[in-house]
Structure 1
Amino acid sequence: MLILLPPSEGKRSATAGDPFEYHELSFPDLAADRSLVLRALAEASAGPDAHAVLGVGETLAAEVVRNRTLHAEPSSPAHDVYTGVLYEALGYHGLSPAQQRAADAAVVVVSALWGAVGFADRIPAYRLSMSVALPGLGKLASWWKPRLAGPLGERAAGQLVVDCRSSTYAAAFAPDPARTVSVNVFQVRDGVRKVVSHFAKHTRGELARHLLVRQGAQPETPEELLAAAQEKWTAELEPGTARKAHRLNIVLDG
């Protein structure tokens, strides 16, 4: 099983530790591509229009400045760097050691800066969204798409892919639709299903945790994933097509 997550917008900076090393990150074939993005990000973050290019406000000035020196910043595991609703719901540090090992093996975070990283990969905190167009590279989702196809396609081969990414990050890599299930969350209000971003993120994190802690074998098919989700939620499965992944719809009461 492969669980694809988006990064969080906010990130926790390491207070100590060595800088990241390219050769220690998962998917080492991406090292040259990561170096290009890192250099382009540093240059953009030093420019007079840095905040406009990165799409951030002045309150994030310190994070933009940090983007210039990521090679020297202390690093920590990705599961510590990424924060926010989804990651709080996943609750890595509340897992048992065996469950943490399972998370490290199963979870991959698709990233605007790194392309993709494993959950235990050591990285610094940074500020960059997949929707950003960096000078010289263009929009990062389009830039990464051909570069992620090989390494992530190989990692996903033969696996059930549980896709918990937002659409922005899903645009950077499309796994085999026959073995992929995108996760959608709806809340029922006045009898109408609505997507509420906060609850969607939280429930995707809860689903990832449930898949890591539940008893029994990991799901290997979309139907088995549905059965696992129905252990906790009202859920339904929309079959995919030759070009479109299956859809797991989790329905929350209002």
Structure 2
Amino acid sequence: MLVLLPPSEGKAGAVRGAPLDPGALSSPELGPAREAVLDELVELCAGDEVKAREVLGLSERQGAEVARNAALRSAPARPAGEIYTGVLYDALDLASLDAAARRRARASLLVFSGLWGVVRITDRIPAYRCSGGVKLPGLGALTAHWRGPLAAALPAVAGEGPVLDLRSSAYAAMWRPAGELADRTVTVRVLQSRIVDGVERRSVVSHFNKATKGRLVRDLLTAGPLPRTSRRLVEVLRGLGYRVEEAAPGRLDVVVTEL
């Protein structure tokens, strides 16, 4: 099974470590597309800070993020699983997984990125700031930049098992599974259920959506061998105590009452 994750806005800066080696990242066929984004991002952030902040959607108080981007090629790099932080990754808590669950995580988790396209949690990267919704002056929209390279690379990465898609909309736009692969791709929506005047009301949660998805992935990784079919995925999630409803072909609603 392949699990597609969004990155996090916040990232833990590596205190020490060798700098980035772009050629050592997984999916090396993405190398030219990665270098194109990296070159422009470093050049942009090494120049006019005001322009860089405008392009990246940063505030005046986030000037340090611009300076960090300017130094990406020389900054210390650490495994991506240590760099990404935030609600989803806090709930996933990769560092505390046992050895078997860590092996499953290394084999199954794929993190989307506006800068790298995709990375494995073992890929060594520096902390950066470049969301999937950014439009760089030269390359344009990163979602469009990545569509072709990812469409060529990811079907082989997906293998023959189910694909669990937990990405947010900006990253889902970078690659949409097609054909037979789309038939075994499952997206998840998290809904909060509340009883109001004796009637159940459901609403899409935002912040806690990420926490639920992080816990869900953690539970799958620790439960044992990952499901090999979409049908088995539903059965495993229900066995783990999740209230799962098949809202449409290829789409699951996970209904929670406590966030």
TM category, shorter: over 0.9
Return 81-90 or 224-233, whichever deviates more. 224-233
* TM-score (normalised: structure 1): 0.94
Q: Which residue of 2 aligns with 1:243?
A: none
| Equivalence map 1:63-102=2 (5 Å) | 63-102=65-104
Aligned counterparts of 2:107 and 2:166: Cα–Cα separation in 1: 16
Aligned counterparts of 1:139 and 1:25: Cα–Cα separation in 2: 23
Q: Which residue of 2 aligns with 1:182?
A: 187
Amino acid paired to 2:253 = N
SS at match of 2:170: helix
SS at match of 2:160: coil
What runs of 5+ residues in structure 1 fail to find an aligned partner?
241-245
Q: Could you give the per-residue CA deviations for residues 28-54 of structure 1, whole angstroms, max 9, x where no partner exists?
A: 011111111001111222224111110
Aligned counterparts of 2:150 and 2:89: Cα–Cα separation in 1: 23
Of 99, 114, 117 in structure 2, the residue corresponding to residue 115 of structure 1 is 117
The answer as to 2:171 corresponding to 1:162 is no
Aligned counterparts of 1:142 and 1:11: Cα–Cα separation in 2: 24
Q: Which residue of 1 aligns with 2:237?
A: 229
SS at match of 1:49: helix
Amino acid paired to 1:11 = K
Q: Which residue of 1 aligns with 2:51?
A: 49
| Structural RMSD (CA) | 1.2
Aligned counterparts of 1:211 and 1:169: Cα–Cα separation in 2: 22
- Percent of matched pairs sharing the same residue: 45
1:250: how far off?
0.3
Aligned counterparts of 1:50 and 1:127: Cα–Cα separation in 2: 11
Return 39-48 or 100-109, whichever deviates more. 39-48
Of 246, 252, 256 in structure 2, the residue corresponding to residue 252 of structure 1 is 256
The answer as to 2:221 corresponding to 1:219 is no
State the number of aligned residues. 248
Q: Deviating runs (4+, > 6 A) in structure 1?
A: none
Q: Could you give the per-residue CA deviations for residues 120-142 of structure 1, whole angstroms, max 9, x where no partner exists?
A: 10000000011010011111111
Aligned counterparts of 1:214 and 1:98: Cα–Cα separation in 2: 10
* TM-score (normalised: structure 2): 0.92
Aligned counterparts of 1:69 and 1:151: Cα–Cα separation in 2: 28
| Equivalence map 1:122-141=2 (5 Å) | 122-141=124-143
Amino acid paired to 1:27 = S
1:220: how far off?
1.8
Q: Could you give the per-residue CA deviations for residues 62-121 of structure 1, whole angstroms, max 9, x where no partner exists?
A: 111111110100000001000001001111011012211210111010110000001110
Amino acid paired to 1:69 = A
Cα pair 1:223 1:237 within 8 Å, conserved: no
The answer as to 2:201 corresponding to 1:196 is no
What runs of 5+ residues in structure 2 fail to find an aligned partner?
none
Cα pair 1:76 1:124 within 8 Å, conserved: yes
